[in-house]
Amino acid sequence: MSVALIILGAGKGTRMNSELPKVVHPIAGAPMLVHAMRAGATLDPAHTVIVAGHGAEDVTKVALAYDDEAKVVLQNEQLGTGHAVLQAADALAGFDGKVIVLYGDTPFVKPETLSAMLEASADVVVLGFEPKDPGRYGRLVTDGTSLERIVEFKDALPQEKNIKLCNSGVICCAAPLLFNLLNEITNDNAAGEYYLTDVIGLARRAGHTATVVTCSEAETLGVNSRAELAAADALFQAEARLSLMEDGVTLVAPETVYLSLDTLIGRDTIIEPNVVFGPDVTVESGATIRAFSHLEGCHVSRGSVVGPYARLRPGAELAENVKIGNFVEIKKATLSEGTKVNHLSYIGDATIGARTNIGAGTITCNYDGVLKHHTEIGNDVFIGSNTMLVAPVTIGSRAMTGSGSVITSDVEPEALALSRAPQVEKPGMAQKLFDMLQAKKARMNRGS
């Protein structure tokens, strides 16, 4: 079955009080629009059309970053949801499969729900839900399994407002029928807008069938304010944490762990409290991420230990059984099996061989103020504490650097590299200096 997606993302989101369009605000490290696109992508759509308006440049950038084949069309005037969907007609000209209309600010509709809508046996399928408080949602007027019409709350009669089944706005329909119906709708309503929901009544009057597929209220959660954005993020985090634990991941204090939309963690991994996973993180089975660590754009292999208080930045690649200790930062660096960077070090733009030990306070000096440079360290190397490795530089396998060294040239395999100023000792000078400073302090105190 050929499927196309139309995702509405033209709204300004006035209540967000932001210069950014609403649908690019992030939930779990990814724009809301990406959540909707990701759910729809599971259907393997032939076309994905994003309807943008306010902040179209930002919306386009987000959409194409996720799917470079997506099409972005503009709704220059905000004349309602029906008018918005109609803007996709040219982009889907000649397409005769089914269309699902989604919303960029309703990020949690599940793939299985969308599949159920595609499989429903009706010409038009609407996604409905029964909220705890129906409030001002549009009501779904049904007769058995048949959907007769959708009534917006502001246009509903008193008896219609008592209906519990509400409209999510998500709709599924064959493309030719959908656009034919949209061309017939009018704006003869309280808001003066062209409602997408009017296609149901038009379809029924023309003899077409319509029905409802239901989902949980959580799936239909819409985001219109910063408070709702925070509530949506909290909902995502709770479900994602539970899913990880069900898959065999230990979260010592689940409520303190922050996950991103694309976080992948293997079973038998232990995540200690207050760990943050930014976008694009994969942690293999049997690893340990200790407390207060921050990971983003990195890969951690089986048996590795990270933290506490460690930071893995984009491009960090840890092989099996690597140990990254407290107050260590790794950026754009590959660490081979069994390597250790245990204390207070920065490793950036580097490749490190197997079983190498990086001493405390080591820094790869990778930036000259204009360009970044690479450090290459071989297998079984011992880097002494407080070594400065001034890139570009290569340290051969089984080599060693003395503590406190500044290494500016390549070191051959098995060599010991030392670079220190000679130690100078002046007998009695320390006491003389202390006496002088204490006398100065006494004069200052008398003057005050």
DSSP per residue, 180-239: HHHTT----STT----TTHHHHHHHHTT--EEEEE--GGGG----SHHHHHHHHHHHHHH
Indicate the domain borders of the chain.
Answer: 3-220, 226-417
Digit-coded pLDDT (tens) for 82-132: 999 999 999 999 999 999 999 999 999 999 999 999 999 999 999 999 999
Percent of the chain clearing pLDDT 70 (strictly above): 100
Q: What is the pLDDT of residues 193-208, one digit of tens each?
A: 898 989 999 999 999 9
Q: CA 404, 407, 408: angle at the middle one, nearest 5?
A: 150
d(CA 193, CA 179): 17
Q: Which CATH number is 226-417 given?
A: 2.160.10.10
Decide if 89 contacts 105 (C-beta within 8 A): no
CATH of 3-220, one of 3.10.20.70, 1.10.150.120, 3.90.1150.10, 3.90.550.10: 3.90.550.10
d(CA 103, CA 105): 5
- And the tokens for 295? 């990971």
Task: Give the pLDDT confidence of 6-63 residue by residue, as tens digits.
Answer: 999 998 888 999 999 999 999 999 999 999 999 999 999 999 999 999 899 999 999 9
Residue 84: phi and psi, rounded to 5, are -65, -45
Q: Which two tokens stand for residue 173?
A: 């329909």
Has residue 176 got a pLDDT over 80?
Answer: yes
Annotated catalytic residue, options 35, 47, 54, 343: 343
Q: Are 57 and 73 in contact, with CB atoms under 8 Å apart?
A: no
Whether 299 sits among the annotated catalytic residues: the reply is: no
Is residue 375 a contact partner of residue 393, using CB atoms and an 8 Å limit? yes
- Reported pTM: 0.89
